[in-house]
Amino acid sequence: MIVNIAKATRAVPADLVLMARAFGVSRTTVLRQIVVPAVAGSTVAAVRFAIMSAWNGLLLAEWFGATSGVGWRSRYWYDANQLDGFLAWVLVFILLLVIADLLILGPIERYATRWRTA
């Protein structure tokens, strides 16, 4: 996340910031009106990546060490050589990720980058 946000911050046009400062715009306003909107898309993408990585880590932890959860159920069916049960639980996991992405992260991204449509 930090690398994504740092790269996005470095990509903010320096000329735009210098022009705003030359016209007497305060640093707070430059940060709020120029830097934050320019970095918003990359920040949302970094958060999306972090959440998806955390979900995958949770699945892996449940796979190896839990006695309940989607990861444990997937492993149960995998160990029982029942492909249909295994794929059903994997599908449940994928659907949870897609629903979280569409219903939670999608609207946040649209809100954070709404200025790009103008």
The per-residue DSSP string of 21-59 comes to: HHTT--HHHHIIIIIHHHHHHHHHHHHHHHHHHHHHHHH
Domain region containing 62: 1-114
Rg of the chain over CA atoms, in angstroms?
Answer: 21
Task: Kindly report the pTM of this predicted structure.
Answer: 0.69
Average pLDDT over residues 62-87: 86
Count of domains forming the chain: 1
Q: 9 vs 17, 22, 44, 82, CA distance in Å?
A: 12, 20, 13, 49
Q: What is the residue-averaged pLDDT of the chain?
A: 87
Q: What is the pLDDT of residues 12-70, one digit of tens each?
A: 889 999 999 999 999 999 999 889 888 888 888 888 888 888 888 888 898 898 888 88
